[in-house]
Amino acid sequence: MSTSNHHTAAPARVTRGTVAPRDDFPVFSHRPGQVLLDSAATSQPPAVVLDAQRTFTEDAYAAVHRGSSAATGSATAAFERARSRVASFIGAGEDELVWTANATDALNLLAWSFTEAALEGTGRLALRTGDEIVVTEAEHHANLVPWQRLAARTGAVLRVVPVADDGTWTIDAMRQVVGARTRLIAFAHVSNVTGFIAPVADVVELAAAVGAATILDACQSVPHRPVDVRALGVDFAAFSAHKMLGPTGIGGLYGRSELLASLPPGRTGGSAITTVTLERAEFLPPPHRFEPGTQPVVQAVGFAAAADYLDGIGMDVVAAHEDELAALLYDTVAAIPGVHVVGPAAGAPRAGLVSFVVDGVHAHDVGQFLDDRGVVVRTGHHCAQPLHRRLGVHATTRASAYVYTDADDVAALGDALAGVRAYFGADR
């Protein structure tokens, strides 16, 4: 954690505009004057995403991959077009993208598929007693608890890469943990607490040296910067639509085609099979073998529309916009007396979010104070209790930017935050 309110970084270049017109987002007309700085939790959908879902629901709503009607065929075609569109957004093949309920569901599905592989006892991904799963101390619970449970079910050992005092970790620290028995390395591309950007290429190289598979939590990267999973070289990745201008209720699991083909399904049922007898079942090829039951068709259409919208802006443009706002957020928050930023120091690369602690004021009180002044942020442990425990704090306040955020929003945060300690009498 930063221990000083003063730093020597050059002033950030101020971004006065946004890269996405606010008129595109209905929320700004329905909640005028509100400063939305909680997009790392859930982003706001543009009208084109809402319209795409509404149009499909009104004109083409039907079950997919079931029956022989023209309506089913039309809905199935839209559903699979959406898969192809979202897959291309992350540089994957359409057979490499599994629809899930969200990123948490994607990681749990993967963990259960690894469990099935362990039960069958064959293949590279079949864990055995004494094999090791590596995570970092900074992980979101969604990228920690499934691997805890997988280790418990298979007899594998969970090993943890420690973080430094600022909540970040290094590839050198990971090298001290990864060994000959490492089979899985699960880590976040971008920390949802500190904004730390992981050295993905170094992790992939390290994993390859010991024959381990890599699992990337890409929730905070896919919406905010160009991500090409094949170029990154990771084996699996999870991300959610609702963090990238899309609907809730749908996420994606990327897996290299040959690895998905080697995995048994982590859950089973209708639409994922070829033949079922009373004694056994045979399953479809990926990705459909991992998608039993009724599918989130409307959400998939919205997900694809969100990908179209972001590509219309250009993910390089999105990243540049947020890089400027990241620096501005840091400078604004860190300059306020009694406020301490967690994560990378001034000038170091970070995503467009800042988590901080206010001396003498609980994060929940900080959040309520800001909310009363029209500034929406996130408070709590952000589903990362081990990291907060390591930082020595129960909770932090987090402000996060996106395509519709501008410098005036950051200024409003700074103005409101400057009054917190006096209001609670913590400046005496």
Return the CATH number at 241: 3.40.640.10
Q: Which residues are part of the catalytic machinery?
A: 383
What the block records as the tokens of 164 is: 């430094």
Place of tokens 């993905």: 200
Q: What is the mean pLDDT of residues 122-134?
A: 94
Residues 167 and 224 in one domain: yes
Residue 76 DSSP label? H
Q: What is the mean pLDDT of residues 351-371?
A: 98
Residues 299 and 366 in one domain: no
Residues 214 and 356 in one domain: no
Residue 190 DSSP label? B
Q: Is residue 9 part of a domain?
A: no
Q: Which domain holds residue 35?
A: 22-47+314-423
Last residue of a domain, one of 247, 280, 311: 311
CA distance 428 to 409: 29
Q: What is the pLDDT of residues 374-390, one digit of tens each?
A: 999 999 999 999 999 99
Specify the pLDDT at position 2: 42
CA distance 317 to 37: 19
Residues 191 and 303 in one domain: yes
Split at pLDDT 50, 70, 90, the class of 13 is very low
What the block records as the tokens of 25 is: 């987002």
CA distance 159 to 273: 36
Q: Is residue 380 part of a domain?
A: yes
Residues 176 and 228 in one domain: yes
Q: Is residue 214 part of a domain?
A: yes
Residues 39 and 93 in one domain: no
Q: Is residue 189 part of a domain?
A: yes
Specify the pLDDT at position 21: 95
Q: Which spans in 335-406 are helix H?
A: 363-372, 385-391
CA distance 167 to 164: 5
DSSP secondary structure string for all residues of 81-142:
HHHHHHHHHTT--GGGEEEESSHHHHHHHHHHHHHHHHHHT-STT---TT-EEEEETT--GG
What the block records as the tokens of 134 is: 């590596």
Tally of domains within the chain: 2
> What does the mean pLDDT of the chain come to?
94
Q: Is residue 3 part of a domain?
A: no
Q: Is residue 14 part of a domain?
A: no
Specify the pLDDT at position 16: 56
Q: What is the mean pLDDT of residues 170-185?
A: 98
Return the CATH number at 41: 3.90.1150.10
Q: What is the pLDDT of residues 180-212, one digit of tens each?
A: 999 999 999 999 999 999 999 999 999 999 999
Residues 235 and 330 in one domain: no
Q: Is residue 158 part of a domain?
A: yes
Beta-carbon contacts of residue 20 (< 8 Å; ≥ 6 apart): 46, 309, 313, 403, 404
Q: Is residue 225 part of a domain?
A: yes
